[in-house]
Amino acid sequence: MKKEAMYSEKAGADNVRCLLCPHRCLIKPGNRGICRVRKNVNGTLVTETYGKLSAVHIDPVEKKPLYHFYPGRTILSIGSIGCNMHCDFCQNWDISQSSPDDFPNLKEHLPEELANAAAESKDNIGIAYTYNEPVVFYEMMVDTARLVHDRGKKNVAVTNAFIEPDSLQELIPLMDAFNVDLKAFDEEFYRKYTGARLEPVKKNLATMARSGTHLEITNLIIPGLNDQPEKFRKMVKWIATELGEEVVMHLSRYFPQYKMHIPSTPEETMLACYEMASEELKYVYLGNMAGTPRTRNTWCPECGNLLIERAGYHIRISGLDDRGNCSKCGTKVIPHH
């Protein structure tokens, strides 16, 4: 269904300006913004995908990925279509780089239905807004998230964090965790390969960290583009200094997708990045590869006790007490357990 969009203003005649994300698209009547799903209809900005979902699944929370947020539990995961970035390497390009014209028959799922499903599903902690960029279905996300909280469940946004500060401030109280896809630490990379900008993402990451909302970061390592040691070290040092050394970092192995045909990232590169990140951050994990027990399990940073063993999405909690602390030394490791 179509619904009037939040965060817009008139911009002369029948034009509207979308104020949801830093693109701040000026949209003429009948046209859509960069995200492909917010449209000017007779001088009013509407969201065309309210309730229109491309995917509804129950996933392990680790698949988001979130490794320090209710480990071993499941979460109802929903996504729609569209995105405010156009990453050449997008893994979900078939839905993210599409418009409602490409998916005219998406099934409708309204907020109350989804919140009820999340509350009624056994062992389910809540809803994750994921698969495509949830910022572009903002109205659906915030309406659903309020109902999810009303039912005592949790909300998670898996996002590129390319959102305007006002929109983010309204969203933060509704979210219990974020996983932010930090594409690189280079403005030129963002401009050339995503069509967006790094600086707003950095500012939003800092806002999320200050809010106390649980935060994990994913970085897709692409050979020759964002794996240069100098830039990579700069990124992880910034994360440790500005966001905190306890922020969880997922380093994901790239494979050719969409418009990018660079060969997949060598495992040696992934391990080198893991070592560099581990010099600054307490919790670093490798994804999209088997890795080793060191790179996929959770260890106490103080005493080295094995806390969580992982084999794919199979989880065994072995060294945590019922408060999420290390069972040997008492260090707080998993705040949401």
Q: What pLDDT band is residue 330 in, cutting at 50, 70 and 90? A: very high
Over residues 320-330, mean pLDDT: 97
- The residues facing 74 across adjacent strands are 60, 124
Q: What pLDDT band is residue 13 in, cutting at 50, 70 and 90? A: confident
DSSP H stretches of helix in the chain: 93-96, 111-120, 138-150, 165-171, 187-193, 198-211, 229-238, 267-278, 293-296
For the stretch 176-201, pLDDT in tens is 999 999 999 999 999 999 999 999 99
Averaged pLDDT of the chain: 98
Over residues 41-54, mean pLDDT: 98
Q: What pLDDT band is residue 263 in, cutting at 50, 70 and 90? A: very high
Over residues 239-244, mean pLDDT: 99
52-296: CATH, from 1.10.1660.10, 3.40.50.10540, 3.30.70.580, 3.20.20.70: 3.20.20.70
Domain ranges of the chain: 3-47, 52-296
Residue bearing the bigger pLDDT, 337 or 298? 298
> Kind and range of the H or E element at 181?
strand 177-181
| 22 vs 16: CA distance, rounded Å | 15
pLDDT value of residue 50: 98
Over residues 211-220, mean pLDDT: 98
pLDDT value of residue 154: 99
Q: What pLDDT band is residue 311 in, cutting at 50, 70 and 90? A: very high
pLDDT value of residue 122: 86
| 223 vs 253: CA distance, rounded Å | 10
Q: What pLDDT band is residue 289 in, cutting at 50, 70 and 90? A: very high
Does 337 have pLDDT greater than 90? no
Parallel, antiparallel, or unpaired for β 124-129 and 74-79? parallel
- What residues have CB less than 8 Å from 63, skipping those under 6 apart? 77, 313
pLDDT value of residue 111: 99
Share of the chain above pLDDT 90, in %: 97
| Bond from prior residue into 335 cis (ω within 30 degrees of 0) | no
pLDDT value of residue 151: 98
For the stretch 161-177, pLDDT in tens is 999 999 999 999 999 99
Over residues 206-235, mean pLDDT: 98
Taking the CA atoms of the chain, what radius of gyration do you get in angstroms?
20
For the stretch 101-141, pLDDT in tens is 999 999 999 999 999 999 999 889 999 999 999 999 999 99
For the stretch 55-75, pLDDT in tens is 999 999 999 999 999 999 999
